[in-house]
Amino acid sequence: MIRRAPRSLAEHAPILFPALMLIVFFVIPFSLMIAVSVARRVPGGFYEPDFVFANYERFLTAFFGGVLAFSLELAGLVAVLAVGVAFPFTYRLARLPRAAQVRWLVFLLSILSLSEVIIGFAWSTLLSRTAGITNLFVALGLMAEAQSLTPSFGALLAGMVYQAFPYTVLVLYPALARLDPSLVEAARTLGSSPVRAFFTVVVPALRSTIVATLIMAFVFALGSYLLPQLLGRPQHWTLSVLITDQAIYQSNMPFAAAMAVFLVLVSLALVALALLAGRRKEEA
């Protein structure tokens, strides 16, 4: 290990690869998007290079503000629910025998291979009137007649949490697997119940992991554009859906790019706020 600061080019080399990746996969695409977002829209045609803010002006209305607020709330809710379900699940999972853990993880990984389209169609069938789960309730005598549960906010939320869940577990798993069991044992010896030990020892010990996972799930949910169309009503369409409409169906790239830039900036700001809040607490 080199302890002193790197001096020669060779010593700097290891950082070149991540820097290059960051430039190729983030800096260049995002710069292109910013460049397009200030281009001039040719109505009924395409766009021409220019430096105008008309696309941003169009976005700054109560209508798009409402859609943006809904998208952020939805992503936040999905993140909280996914982590809320996944954290206790992963805590239990990490304490299972090795073989059982592997089986669960393989199962979760296989869910990741499902595309958003398949997940959307599966949930809309599961929640439909004609072939859905309510038919089972009717057969069991719990309901008088089958009804349709989709499209609705609940259906959308279920689909998105389902989609985020495996990612959340896989991010939480390493931290929970490494958690020193003696911490909980100490709490139990001192007389706290398992539930109390979980909330007063395990959760605070992993606070930064939980915050990181929340942020990941939030950003992940923010980009969802198919599930809101398949499982939600128009009032549940996220900003990503409207961006897709503009880019693919209206060939209005400048406006789509302006909305995307706005979305990226807002989510970066929110992530920064969350990290800042986390750090303050740690210092306190």
Partner 1 sequence: MRISGGVGRRAVLAGAGALAAAVGFPGIVRAQSKSLKVGVYGGYFKDSFDKHVFPEFTKATGIAVESVAEPTGEAWLVQLEQAARARQAPADVSMMSQVAILKGMAADLWAPFDLAKLPNAAKVKPHLINKYPDGRVAGVGAVSWYITLVTNTKAYPQAPASWAALWDPANKDKLGLLALVSNSFLLEVTAATFFGGTKHLDTEQGQLDCFKKLAELKSNVKLWYRDEAQFEAALKSGEIPMGQYYHDVTGLAAADGHPVRSTFPKEGGITDSGSWAVTKASKAGDLAHVFVDYMCQPSIQALLSRKVGTAPTIDRAATDLTDKEFASVSSDLAPIIPRYDLYQSKSDWLNQKWTEMIVG
The DSSP output letter for 50 is -
Q: Which of 38, 39, 59, 151 binds partner 1 (CB under 8 A)?
A: 151
Size of the site for partner 1 (CB under 8 A): 32
Selected range binding partner 1 among 3-11, 35-43, 136-144, 173-181, rule: CB under 8 A: 35-43
Residues 6+ apart with CB under 8 A from 116: 163, 224, 226, 227
- Using CB under 8 A as the binding rule, whether residue 253 contacts partner 1 is answered as yes
Question: φ and ψ at 41, to 5 degrees?
Answer: -70, 130
CB 232 within 8 A of CB 62: no
**Closest to 171 (Cα-Cα) out of 135, 214, 226:** 214
- Using CB under 8 A as the binding rule, whether residue 155 contacts partner 1 is answered as no
Helix (H, G, I), strand (E, B) or coil at 59: helix
- Using CB under 8 A as the binding rule, whether residue 53 contacts partner 1 is answered as no
The two structure tokens encoding residue 193: 């119940």
Q: How far is the CB of 71 from partner 1 (least distance, A)?
A: 12
- Using CB under 8 A as the binding rule, whether residue 248 contacts partner 1 is answered as yes
Selected range binding partner 1 among 16-24, 100-108, 155-163, 247-255, rule: CB under 8 A: 247-255
Residues 6+ apart with CB under 8 A from 50: 38, 39, 40
- Using CB under 8 A as the binding rule, whether residue 206 contacts partner 1 is answered as no
Which residues contact partner 1 (rule: CB under 8 A)? 41-46, 58, 63, 67, 117, 121, 124, 128-131, 148, 151, 229-230, 234-235, 237, 242, 245, 248-253, 255
